[in-house]
């Protein structure tokens, strides 16, 4: 498959609290480190599906950075866009679970290597190879990163490519002024918008109450494909003249991190490869389910064969 799908943003390590409601204010045990970062999970999933996957990011010259690069390279991601910064440390996140669905995070990103990623780190030759660019809202936490996103959007659009945007909103980041300002700019260039059903409220779209009207307002803005993620309830697709609703694949939840990233990577990759919308949605739902069935944010990325095995099992 010769479609090259690129993404940009945080590449870090993640530590997971072993006990529910463990919190961060008292000593406790954690699993980790695990390779992580929403764009990195997306890129890993694209590669495991057999597509050309390119990630732009930065890590420190440390063991955490080495681990991340080695893992992505092993799974087939083109890691030439990852810069190793000698005077910075690789980003990190600590996660505590209130329930299987509710999590609290402490992020070390703005002051880490990935927080220093700028337009100057982007290799122009690699950018010219990109057919599609995926943007994660969680990556828009500094002016440097936003400028880098703008640069990639300009080059990909100039070359006739497409853009997808997953708002991926984290409450810990909503007070970052640069992030909310960038959302409006990016939506103007978005071809595929992939919010969760709960994220529509953030964009002030809940005033319509009726989801069809919400989606209609997005289409009027120029967004051609709207895909709403509904977790275990599946997902929905809306274009100007089509809509589809596909049920989810129920599995036992081990770790919810990465489900939306794997969903988005699978839907976008397979849609661009010519899969029908219902098939792309079904595969994306299965990819999200496989993601949450493994502990660790990137440990549940899946191949096409693994996705199809789950779909076959569910239909049987």
Per-residue pLDDT in tens (0 to 9) along the chain, 316 residues: 589 999 999 999 999 999 988 889 899 999 999 999 999 999 999 999 999 999 999 999 999 999 999 999 999 999 999 999 999 999 999 999 887 667 888 889 889 999 999 999 999 999 999 999 999 998 988 889 999 999 999 999 999 999 999 998 765 556 666 676 788 889 999 999 999 988 876 655 444 457 778 888 889 999 999 999 999 999 999 999 999 999 999 999 999 999 999 999 999 999 999 999 999 999 999 999 999 999 999 999 999 999 999 999 987 6
Position 98 in a domain: no
What pTM, to 2 d.p., does this model score? 0.94
pLDDT at 277: 98
CATH of the domain at 140: 3.40.1190.20
pLDDT at 207: 47
Closest CA to 45 of 121, 136, 115: 136
d(CA 15, CA 213): 40
Size of the chain, expressed as the number of residues it contains: 316
Position 290 in a domain: yes
Q: Are strands 91-97 and 103-108 parallel, antiparallel or unpaired?
A: antiparallel
Burial category of 104 from C-beta neighbours within 10 Å (exposed 0-12, middle 13-18, buried 19 and up): middle
- Residues of the domain holding 42: 4-9+37-68+75-83+116-315
pLDDT at 86: 96
pLDDT at 169: 73
Q: What is the pLDDT of residues 85-99, one digit of tens each?
A: 999 999 999 999 887
pLDDT at 206: 44
Q: Determine the Cα angle at 182 with ends 176 and 183, to 5°.
A: 100
pLDDT at 97: 85
Q: Which residues of 256-290 are buried (b: 16+ CB within 10 A; e: fewer)?
A: bbbbbbbbbbbbbbbbbeebebeebbbbbbbbbbb
Domain count, the chain: 1
DSSP secondary structure letters along 226-288:
EEEE-GGG-EEEE-SS-EEEE-------S--TTHHHHHHHHHHHHHHTT--HHHHHHHHHHHH
Sign of CA dihedral 12, 166, 181, 121: positive
Q: Determine the Cα angle at 97 with ends 92 and 101, to 5°.
A: 110
Task: Give the Cβ contact number of residue 95 at 10 Å.
Answer: 24
DSSP secondary structure letters along 70-118:
HHHHHTT-B-TTEEEETTS--EEEEEEESSSS-EEEEEE-TTSTGGG--
Q: Are strands 225-229 and 235-238 parallel, antiparallel or unpaired?
A: antiparallel
d(CA 154, CA 276): 28
Q: What is the pLDDT of residues 18-34, one digit of tens each?
A: 998 888 989 999 999 99
Position 110 in a domain: no
Q: What is the DSSP letter of 62?
A: S
> Distance from first CA to last CA of the chain, Å, rounded?
29
Position 146 in a domain: yes
Position 90 in a domain: no
Q: Are strands 132-136 and 4-8 parallel, antiparallel or unpaired?
A: parallel
Side by side, which strands form the sheet with 12-17?
A: 30-36, 12-17, 91-97, 103-108
Position 30 in a domain: no
Position 14 in a domain: no
Position 188 in a domain: yes
Is the previous residue joined to 33 through a cis bond, with omega within 30 degrees of 0?
A: yes
d(CA 307, CA 267): 12
Q: What is the DSSP letter of 121?
A: G
């Amino acid at each position: 498959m010769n479609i090259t799908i690129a993404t940009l943003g945080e590449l870090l390590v993640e530590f997971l609290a072993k006990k529910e409601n463990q919190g961060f204010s008292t000593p406790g045990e954690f699993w980790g480190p695990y390779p992580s970062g929403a764009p990195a999970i997306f890129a890993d999933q694209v590669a495991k599906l057999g597509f050309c996957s390119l990630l732009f990011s930065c890590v420190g010259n440390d063991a955490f950075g080495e681990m991340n690069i080695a893992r992505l390279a092993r799974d087939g991601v083109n890691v030439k866009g990852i810069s190793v910064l000698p005077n910075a440390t690789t980003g990190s996140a600590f996660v505590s679970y209130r329930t299987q669905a509710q999590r609290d995070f402490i992020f070390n990103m703005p002051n880490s290597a990935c927080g220093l990623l700028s337009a100057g780190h982007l290799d122009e030759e690699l950018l010219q190879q990109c057919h599609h660019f995926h943007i994660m809202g969680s990556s828009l936490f500094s002016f440097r990163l936003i400028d880098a996103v703008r640069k990639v959007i300009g080059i990909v659009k100039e070359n006739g490519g497409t853009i997808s945007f997953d708002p991926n909103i984290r409450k810990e980041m909503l007070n970052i002024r640069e992030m909310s300002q960038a959302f409006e700019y990016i939506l103007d260039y978005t071809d595929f918008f992939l919010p969760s059903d709960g994220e529509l409220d953030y964009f002030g779209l809940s005033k319509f109450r009726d989801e069809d009207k919400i989606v209609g307002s997005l289409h009027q803005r120029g967004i051609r494909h709207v895909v709403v993620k509904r977790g275990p309830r599946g997902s929905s697709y809306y274009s100007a003249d089509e809509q589809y609703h596909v049920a989810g694949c129920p599995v036992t939840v081990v770790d919810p991190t990465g489900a939306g990233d794997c969903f988005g990577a699978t839907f976008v990759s397979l849609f661009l490869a010519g899969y029908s919308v219902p098939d792309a949605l079904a595969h994306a739902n299965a990819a999200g389910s496989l993601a949450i069935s493994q502990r660790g944010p990137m440990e549940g990325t899946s191949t096409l064969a693994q996705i199809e095995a789950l779909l076959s099992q569910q239909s049987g």
